């Protein structure tokens, strides 16, 4: 099958120009469109859904009476970014739409359990231990960007034992 052509007055064949859809679907044009859309989301969403005001670290009120420095260190490594007022807000937490997800996750995590406000709200210790034991915490999406939060089986058991001793 031959390529469609247009004839010119001189009788020579001129290749037909690509359709608008073919032009728009070229990889270069798609990349430009994605980048432009990303930039537009940043500009448009900033005044509407600015999360910087929620990305705070209030002063700690009280911490649990940790049974050992090792237990606290494991909790800091695996839990504190979402469950304390000592969150480290990485660069990607400032860029929409990821900023919306990270901020929401931290707000919800602090509402459920906040080691920096220990004793302020009731926490069911057995729920905390169960979440660690079953692998529900730390969450898989947290571990994707915080591989240092991944605990070995021995560290997980040490954290469970430490939480059980510290939080009761």
Contacts of 70 (CB under 8 A, 6+ apart): 158, 162
Q: Residue 18 has what pLDDT?
A: 80
129, 164 in Cβ contact below 8 A?
A: yes
Residues 94-117 pLDDT 10s: 887 888 889 999 999 999 999 999
62, 36 in Cβ contact below 8 A?
A: no
Residues 112-140 pLDDT 10s: 999 999 988 788 899 999 999 999 999 99
Q: Residue 47 has what pLDDT?
A: 47
More confident residue, 84 or 16: 84
Q: Which of 105, 107, 166 has its CA nearest to residue 137?
A: 105
Residues 28-67 pLDDT 10s: 878 888 887 777 766 665 544 567 778 899 999 999 999 9
Handedness of CA 81, 85, 91, 96 (dihedral sign): positive
């Amino acid at each position: 099958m031959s390529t469609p052509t247009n004839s010119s007055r001189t009788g020579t064949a001129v290749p037909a120009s690509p359709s608008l859809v073919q032009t728009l679907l070229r990889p270069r044009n798609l990349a430009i469109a994605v980048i432009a859309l990303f930039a537009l989301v940043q500009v448009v969403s900033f005044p509407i859904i600015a999360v910087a005001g929620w990305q705070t670290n209030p002063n700690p009120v009280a911490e649990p009476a940790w049974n050992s420095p090792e237990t606290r260190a494991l909790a800091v490594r695996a839990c504190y970014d979402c469950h304390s007022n000592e969150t480290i807000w990485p660069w990607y937490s400032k860029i929409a739409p990821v900023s919306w997800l990270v901020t929401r996750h931290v707000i919800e995590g602090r509402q459920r359990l906040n080691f920096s406000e220990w004793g302020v709200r009731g926490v069911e210790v057995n729920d905390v231990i169960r979440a660690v034991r079953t692998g529900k915490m730390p969450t898989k999406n947290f571990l994707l960007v915080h591989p240092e939060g991944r605990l070995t089986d021995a560290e997980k058991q040490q954290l469970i034992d430490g939480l059980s001793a510290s939080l009761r």
